[in-house]
Each structure stands twice: as structure tokens, then as C-alpha cells.
């Protein structure tokens, strides 16, 4: 895993850098991530919030109540709509959407969460841990 690593939105207006290696890489099957990704799940990296620096642009935030009951802040490019970050409001961890990485080839998801919400037609990763809801 390279650190630091960089990424941004599709149109290039938003750029970020993360100076820490991911704490976890995973597929999230919660219904909210299905909506946010427009697919079966969201592939994400969990990193310390303090390690993420917005280099350029601004993000629009939309807060939703997650399946866990907490408020999830979803942050996206206001120009192209690319989902970039999400996470529990004011939490110590930031979620980075894997599709925004400049080089996502090194990413190896190690966990699938919220598998209770997985769609029956969704592909499942073989050989990685699966949890019915959030870890913990």
C-alpha cells in the first residue's frame, strides 16, 4: 500500500492526498452505499481523518442516517457528482471511495460488511471475511 496516495473526482476539480496507509479496505453492502455507488456495494478505504488533505476544490456534503443509526456525511464533487469521501460526522475515521484513487491497482479489499443487505445478484469476493453488519 503506497502512502502517501492521491486521488480526485472525475472532472478534476477536486484533488486530495492521504498520508496514512489504510486501516482497512472493504466492500460495503449497506443499502445506503448501494444508493451512493449506484451499484451492488461501495469499495472503500478507511483512513484517519487527520491524514486526509483536500488539495484543490470544494465538496458538497449531504448527511443521511445510516443503517447503523448514526449520521453519515457523504461528500461529493458539486460539478461532476463523483462521491469522494464519507464517514460518521465528526468521527476520527474518513472513508475514501476506491474509484477516486489515481492508482487503484494496489487496493486489495480484505472484508465485506453489511452482507445482510447484500443483493442476491451481487458478486461476492471469495476468500475474504464477511460480516452481516458493521465490525465491532
Domains in the chain with CATH codes: 5-118 (2.170.150.70)
pLDDT digits (tens, 9 = 90+) for 105-132: 999 999 999 999 999 998 888 889 998 8
pLDDT tens by residue, 4-39: 999 999 999 999 999 999 999 999 998 888 998 899
Residue 61 makes CB contacts below 8 A (sequence gap 6+) with 73, 74, 75
Q: What value does the CA radius of gyration of the chain take, rounded to a whole number of Å? A: 14
Q: Confirm if 96 and 82 have CB atoms less than 8 A apart.
A: no
At 67 the pLDDT is 66
Give 49-72 pLDDT, tens digit per residue: 999 999 999 999 999 887 667 888
The residue among 46, 7, 2, 6 whose CA lies nearest residue 23 is 46
pTM (predicted TM-score): 0.91
DSSP state of 66: -
Confidence at residue 87, expressed as pLDDT on a 0 to 100 scale:
85
Higher pLDDT, 131 or 96: 96
Amino acid at each position: 500500500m503506497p502512502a502517501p496516495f492521491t486521488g480526485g473526482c472525475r472532472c478534476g476539480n477536486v484533488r486530495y492526498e492521504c498520508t496514512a496507509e489504510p486501516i482497512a479496505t472493504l466492500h460495503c453492502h449497506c443499502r445506503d452505499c448501494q444508493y451512493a455507488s449506484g451499484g451492488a456495494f461501495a469499495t472503500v478505504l478507511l483512513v484517519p481523518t487527520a491524514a486526509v488533505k483536500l488539495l484543490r476544490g470544494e465538496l458538497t456534503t449531504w448527511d443521511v442516517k445510516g443503517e447503523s443509526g448514526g449520521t453519515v456525511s457523504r461528500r461529493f464533487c458539486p460539478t461532476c457528482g463523483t462521491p469522494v469521501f464519507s464517514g460518521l460526522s465528526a468521527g476520527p475515521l474518513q472513508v475514501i471511495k476506491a474509484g477516486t484513487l489515481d492508482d487503484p491497482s494496489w487496493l486489495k479489499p480484505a472484508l465485506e460488511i453489511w452482507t445482510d443487505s447484500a443483493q442476491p445478484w451481487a458478486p461476492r469476493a471469495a476468500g475474504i471475511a464477511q460480516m452481516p453488519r458493521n465490525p465491532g
